[in-house]
Structure 1
């Protein structure tokens, strides 16, 4: 009887708790929907957690766009050094509104301000300017970058850009068209090689094949009366993880409603307000990027006929990606390098510096909003941007070492909580990540060809009828009836049956009686939730396998490939980017000029050549934040007239690196000619030793090279 009574007590305790949680959860959904309705009525809704002032309204430009440049006003207590490099954070217009890069203090914007750098933000309005194109947006961003540089004439270095997701490939296009404007580019979760991936994963890349190409994008644009609803993009994102979308996300709030309300509502302010794009904009994206994969092979041209060639970019490129990101897996974030360069020598000869880091588990959105990521990767990249800017051309992986770890040498020369090392890698490291074989490439090329055919058929025979039947009223009605929006309106002040839920929720909070953690019925609830998640995960696995199998079997058919012209003798499975004779001529001229300067220069050139020579040893092949810290410390002791700007320092590094590539032995033999005074040689040698041993004593080939430098200086 006592046991039965105890079970009854626990059951009553659980059902009281469950009923109260249901009311509170309903109130959370009601507040979410009501806040979303209010934001829909705002002219420029955003989720920035920082004050700002508008510098340029893109609607006033000669080619108007719905983008704006804003200066972030530092919070109280934050000091900004105007001589430091300014940063521009660009948010993705990929369905959602702006602000994710600064929606809390521990964010991309937050770490930039914390480091004392001026910070700017490029945001956008919910609706596009009629007629604006992706090219117009790129030109607007170029004017924004130019304005920021103008506002900071004494800054050390050109403005650095942080592009999240869609904004990443957009700033790459801008930098390719205007390579003289931008400083380092940080691509956070940004796809650039859209066919790349591995079998059994990354199912989003098959989506174009399921629809037979991009004709459905055209249909959506026509039904939207010339506008594309960003809710479609968000829904595609959500459908990738059904267990999270349809159960885990809501259940987590329901099960922890006493503590999760604030976090949930904060995120939903950004998640629940999809924006619009012009039909022409989304068509450009799907045709040229998602299905056509034309960005990395240089087959996109602007209205003036200029090829958008990513090899034109002279700024260092930082790629931040994660194994836990299904939207932008590492292969799609880094595969463009394999499209552009045949080998590492071509990458170096092209003058391109690329730094990447691979997170083990963080998801796509976590790259932008995770506080742990902001306080580690984003913060360290921000603090190390000057070092990144002067790295010699090549491929590097960023490695983060905890300063508090045992045996860390000279931690005082590293900012932040980590020591950052940029270790040399080669393109084979990227090939080892996995990718498509030739037959897979042929399948994706088949989709691209078939997409063009279906697009032509739709534009010729269907589009005129759809456009004739569509009005702005019908388009607005379809947007309002989208299931994504309906779920917000059902639980909002638009629903008269929920008018009293807030009052009832307040009463529940006053009488709240949560069940004890060891309540058996609560454990049964958790077990039931786990089974639901497992079932939905199993459905996802089956669905993704079926989609992949359909894609592989359908687009692998020789008959279909023959009909679209991919079995002809002259057919190219993948259009690789062609040679650029003009660029090669410029590189050849630079190499010739560098060869002439092999025996000319002074202390600055001698020191940098020596450092690069030692760093070329197999044990080194690394740029260490501590060595750069020592170099900055030594710079402060030089007379003002002897100090050079970061831009000039970068030029010297590039030149001396090229001299060593041309003929390392002759370059080192000529080293004594750069310094004729004994005192200058001794001072330079001491500085080299301090810099090269900042991360620890040298050994092996690096020590031998250091000894040779000492002999040459003596």
Structure 2
């Protein structure tokens, strides 16, 4: 017996060692593949820069050669030097104004950067229980715009990620402006730059829930409010909707990370940061250095480091190149960019531990304010996700892969009654999602304009597609909106690798927990004992981001002396010709310098970080570190499937004429694959005109659509076979088929696959007229 046990143990250990060896081999192959891929990309980038530099040099030499004489060249040089000197004076005067505005904005308490008047309705800082630094404000419509209190209200939640509030209403062409122009009441959730002592994320969630109840009370006769969450506000909104689904109507989340480990190799380096710093202990350490508060300017600084060419040179050269035209835009944006806010240590620690390192939101391991685990599958409202391929903060994988984390297959989305629509932009950056006027006029305008249609889509996963469709009377482009049905497989193709590498982040989570406990045990007591509000404020003010504002302001006598010279330069402005060879040379040098800064300061750094991450955590994963933390979901999935099977059995023949009609419409929608928004809207109007849905409220109708979608998804053939039993009465069957033919639009009928599906439905439901019933048997 003892010998047999030893032998079994030896066999188990041998098998374990073999598995480790296999994982080590896979890790080495993966590491080599990543290195080769990086080398190829760097080579291509460098060759591209060299080619561009050669082409620019050739063009510049050709321009110089076209100059008629040395005298003309000297005149061009003199013209350029005068122009550059004037631009330089204006540039430094604008930088002085930026510093002054930063100081004035700070002394004013860094109020929200909203371009609209507003009134404060609820201030959570005055709440008797669980106060926090958030407030609900009502946007006052500007002159010439009226809103309808019976229309769906919009509630916009801004991100608290280092900056101040107001980015969703930063300018007239913004989320606020679009909703107001459509006649909707608009509310905004703002926050003050400093948190209430002891404030936690749960307190913020309670306050936001109270805000939504206030909005609903003000608009009881209107549809449920649409809630928009920007960036960090997105996961807050999703958690809020999961905790109390009854509070919200449609949800729109923009540039919001929800699947924190997702991403593609070589494209999303920010996700490696937590692993390379050893996990979340650094956030705890920085909070302790801040006397219990975390400086949001550190997050802003981290954002700037992602794109050093633009952050440290490009945006300033754009101002220098077009100083007069860029001044107002530059100062307005920098005022918001420099409105740094603070977070309590408990808040940033929960964000890093639970979300960015732990990835606990989609895995249902975070507790809401009531102590229950948050499950995003509880959300019953349609969800619209707006993301961009050009977003290096929240790439599409992090914005969308939570869907695949929650639902094992496409049928599960329908069974949950969930409608998810995503919209992808090809190149806009993270900030552009919120501040770009073009994005507001196109994407947000169409989201607001089609929200009713989105709310009535059958449950499932869709992609919103926009295509230009002529121009309106003002000359602005019109956009055709359609919704194309998508699968989880379509979604996962966004990851150019596979999701297998996400297991490395399990190791990061394990290492992070170890390091955090070690820090709290050995270092935290010493750090906290040596910290005070004086030392914390001193370290905050000494941060280079703040020093730059103070140094480039009227506090600097050298810059103060520039003011009259800059005013003279503006008054006597003499710009060089656009084809001046020295202007062209300056522009080519500046763009080349920015590109090379990005190559050496971003691309090489990101590649090194990625290799280091794969080298360290891939090795630890191969050894089995942290891999036992993943809880198997097979038992939960089986239980869910059992519940769905019972639901399908109960609803297979249920629903009557209304259910049968909706089942056939859902079948035709799935056959069509892509539905035009106008077609969908017209279909809904014709469905109401049939009178079959008279007296049915929108929630009941949505529940009936959910039931029919689920039955079709899990028992497609049986669901269609059940139609004759649902329409056993000949007169009712005739009315329902007549309604079906009246509802389906002509453009769908003209599609061959839809026409074939309609023919099949009619064949399944043959009409038997009373006269035929009377004469038919006698003739036999």
TM-score past 0.5 threshold: yes
1:586, distance to aligned residue in structure 2 (A): 6.6
Could you tell me which residue of structure 2 aligns to residue 579 of structure 1? 636
Could you tell me which residue of structure 1 aligns to residue 576 of structure 2? 515
Could you tell me which residue of structure 1 aligns to residue 55 of structure 2? none
The 5 Å alignment of 1:305-344 reads 305-344=371-410
Check whether the contact 1:65–1:128 (CA below 8 A) recurs between aligned residues. yes
1:629, distance to aligned residue in structure 2 (A): 2.2
1:459, distance to aligned residue in structure 2 (A): 0.8
Measured in 1, the distance between the counterparts of 2:310 and 2:437 equals: 21
The 5 Å alignment of 1:398-417 reads 398-404=464-470, 417=478
Q: Is 1:646 the counterpart of 2:694 in the alignment?
A: no
Corresponding residue to 1:614 among 630, 651, 668: 668
Residues 53-73 of structure 1 show CA distances to partners (whole Å, capped at 9, x for unaligned) of 112111133211111111111
Corresponding residue to 1:684 among 717, 731, 739: 739
Check whether the contact 1:89–1:101 (CA below 8 A) recurs between aligned residues. yes
Deviates more, 1:572-581 or 1:133-142: 572-581
Check whether the contact 1:92–1:165 (CA below 8 A) recurs between aligned residues. yes
Measured in 2, the distance between the counterparts of 1:483 and 1:674 equals: 79
Could you tell me which residue of structure 1 aligns to residue 598 of structure 2? 537
Check whether the contact 1:294–1:300 (CA below 8 A) recurs between aligned residues. yes
Check whether the contact 1:660–1:667 (CA below 8 A) recurs between aligned residues. no
Q: Is 1:295 the counterpart of 2:361 in the alignment?
A: yes
Q: Is 1:110 the counterpart of 2:177 in the alignment?
A: yes
What SS class does the counterpart of residue 362 from structure 1 fall into? coil
1:565, distance to aligned residue in structure 2 (A): 3.7
Q: Which runs of 5+ in 2 are unaligned?
A: 1-66, 768-780
Could you tell me which residue of structure 2 aligns to residue 550 of structure 1? 612
What SS class does the counterpart of residue 447 from structure 1 fall into? helix
Measured in 2, the distance between the counterparts of 1:78 and 1:587 equals: 48
Corresponding residue to 2:168 among 101, 117, 126: 101
1:52, distance to aligned residue in structure 2 (A): 1.3
Compared CA separation, residues 613 and 485, structure 1 to 2 (3 A): same
The 5 Å alignment of 1:228-307 reads 228-302=294-368, 304-307=370-373
Measured in 2, the distance between the counterparts of 1:577 and 1:659 equals: 23
1:81, distance to aligned residue in structure 2 (A): 2.4
Measured in 2, the distance between the counterparts of 1:674 and 1:369 equals: 58
Q: Is 1:143 the counterpart of 2:210 in the alignment?
A: yes
Measured in 2, the distance between the counterparts of 1:578 and 1:363 equals: 41
What SS class does the counterpart of residue 434 from structure 1 fall into? coil
1:50, distance to aligned residue in structure 2 (A): 1.1
Measured in 2, the distance between the counterparts of 1:702 and 1:646 equals: 27
1:426, distance to aligned residue in structure 2 (A): 0.6
Residues 579-607 of structure 1 show CA distances to partners (whole Å, capped at 9, x for unaligned) of 28997787566545434624x2x4x5454
1:439, distance to aligned residue in structure 2 (A): 5.9
Measured in 2, the distance between the counterparts of 1:226 and 1:435 equals: 41
Check whether the contact 1:161–1:184 (CA below 8 A) recurs between aligned residues. yes
Could you tell me which residue of structure 2 aligns to residue 423 of structure 1? 484
The 5 Å alignment of 1:23-42 reads 23-42=89-108
What SS class does the counterpart of residue 500 from structure 1 fall into? helix
Could you tell me which residue of structure 2 aligns to residue 499 of structure 1? 560
Compared CA separation, residues 263 and 215, structure 1 to 2 (3 A): same
Deviates more, 1:205-214 or 1:696-705: 696-705
Could you tell me which residue of structure 2 aligns to residue 672 of structure 1? 727
Compared CA separation, residues 241 and 2, structure 1 to 2 (3 A): closer
Could you tell me which residue of structure 1 aligns to residue 283 of structure 2? 217
Q: Is 1:454 the counterpart of 2:511 in the alignment?
A: no
Measured in 2, the distance between the counterparts of 1:625 and 1:218 equals: 48
Check whether the contact 2:295–2:342 (CA below 8 A) recurs between aligned residues. yes
Corresponding residue to 1:566 among 608, 626, 632: 626
Check whether the contact 2:469–2:480 (CA below 8 A) recurs between aligned residues. yes
Check whether the contact 1:72–1:121 (CA below 8 A) recurs between aligned residues. yes
Q: Is 1:130 the counterpart of 2:187 in the alignment?
A: no
Check whether the contact 1:605–1:674 (CA below 8 A) recurs between aligned residues. no
Check whether the contact 1:685–1:710 (CA below 8 A) recurs between aligned residues. no
Could you tell me which residue of structure 2 aligns to residue 182 of structure 1? 248
1:304, distance to aligned residue in structure 2 (A): 4.7
1:478, distance to aligned residue in structure 2 (A): 0.9
Paired positions, count: 693
Measured in 2, the distance between the counterparts of 1:713 and 1:277 equals: 67
Measured in 2, the distance between the counterparts of 1:302 and 1:532 equals: 49
Residues 495-518 of structure 1 show CA distances to partners (whole Å, capped at 9, x for unaligned) of 233223332221111111111112
Measured in 2, the distance between the counterparts of 1:73 and 1:416 equals: 28
Compared CA separation, residues 162 and 458, structure 1 to 2 (3 A): same
Could you tell me which residue of structure 2 aligns to residue 658 of structure 1? 710
Measured in 2, the distance between the counterparts of 1:139 and 1:491 equals: 41
Compared CA separation, residues 437 and 658, structure 1 to 2 (3 A): closer
Compared CA separation, residues 2 and 651, structure 1 to 2 (3 A): closer
Corresponding residue to 1:471 among 508, 517, 532: 532
What SS class does the counterpart of residue 307 from structure 1 fall into? coil
Could you tell me which residue of structure 2 aligns to residue 363 of structure 1? 429
Check whether the contact 1:445–1:574 (CA below 8 A) recurs between aligned residues. no
Q: Which runs of 5+ in 1 are unaligned?
A: 406-410
Residues 295-346 of structure 1 show CA distances to partners (whole Å, capped at 9, x for unaligned) of 1111222465411111121111111111111111111111112212221122
Q: Is 1:85 the counterpart of 2:152 in the alignment?
A: yes
Measured in 2, the distance between the counterparts of 1:580 and 1:137 equals: 33
Deviates more, 1:420-429 or 1:78-87: 78-87
Measured in 2, the distance between the counterparts of 1:58 and 1:589 equals: 45
Compared CA separation, residues 586 and 98, structure 1 to 2 (3 A): farther
Could you tell me which residue of structure 2 aligns to residue 408 of structure 1? none
Check whether the contact 1:86–1:152 (CA below 8 A) recurs between aligned residues. yes
Measured in 2, the distance between the counterparts of 1:503 and 1:490 equals: 19
Measured in 2, the distance between the counterparts of 1:577 and 1:193 equals: 20
Corresponding residue to 2:651 among 594, 601, 609: 594
Measured in 2, the distance between the counterparts of 1:65 and 1:402 equals: 45
Compared CA separation, residues 658 and 198, structure 1 to 2 (3 A): closer
Check whether the contact 2:422–2:464 (CA below 8 A) recurs between aligned residues. yes
Could you tell me which residue of structure 2 aligns to residue 624 of structure 1? 676
Bigger CA radius of gyration: 2
Measured in 1, the distance between the counterparts of 2:520 and 2:217 equals: 45
1:284, distance to aligned residue in structure 2 (A): 0.6
1:443, distance to aligned residue in structure 2 (A): 2.1
Deviates more, 1:131-140 or 1:429-438: 429-438
Check whether the contact 2:354–2:360 (CA below 8 A) recurs between aligned residues. yes
Compared CA separation, residues 303 and 404, structure 1 to 2 (3 A): closer
Measured in 2, the distance between the counterparts of 1:641 and 1:36 equals: 58
Measured in 1, the distance between the counterparts of 2:336 and 2:254 equals: 18
Could you tell me which residue of structure 1 aligns to residue 133 of structure 2? 66
The 5 Å alignment of 1:347-386 reads 347-386=413-452
What SS class does the counterpart of residue 343 from structure 2 fall into? strand
Check whether the contact 2:690–2:739 (CA below 8 A) recurs between aligned residues. no
Residues 214-248 of structure 1 show CA distances to partners (whole Å, capped at 9, x for unaligned) of 11111110111111000010111110001001111
Check whether the contact 1:384–1:625 (CA below 8 A) recurs between aligned residues. yes
What SS class does the counterpart of residue 245 from structure 2 fall into? coil
1:19, distance to aligned residue in structure 2 (A): 1.0
Check whether the contact 2:231–2:255 (CA below 8 A) recurs between aligned residues. yes
1:140, distance to aligned residue in structure 2 (A): 1.4
Check whether the contact 2:415–2:709 (CA below 8 A) recurs between aligned residues. no
TM-score by length of 1: 0.91
Could you tell me which residue of structure 1 aligns to residue 457 of structure 2? 391
1:705, distance to aligned residue in structure 2 (A): 2.5
Check whether the contact 2:382–2:454 (CA below 8 A) recurs between aligned residues. yes
Check whether the contact 1:339–1:576 (CA below 8 A) recurs between aligned residues. no
Measured in 1, the distance between the counterparts of 2:303 and 2:593 equals: 20
Measured in 2, the distance between the counterparts of 1:578 and 1:93 equals: 38
Residues 446-465 of structure 1 show CA distances to partners (whole Å, capped at 9, x for unaligned) of 11111111111111111111
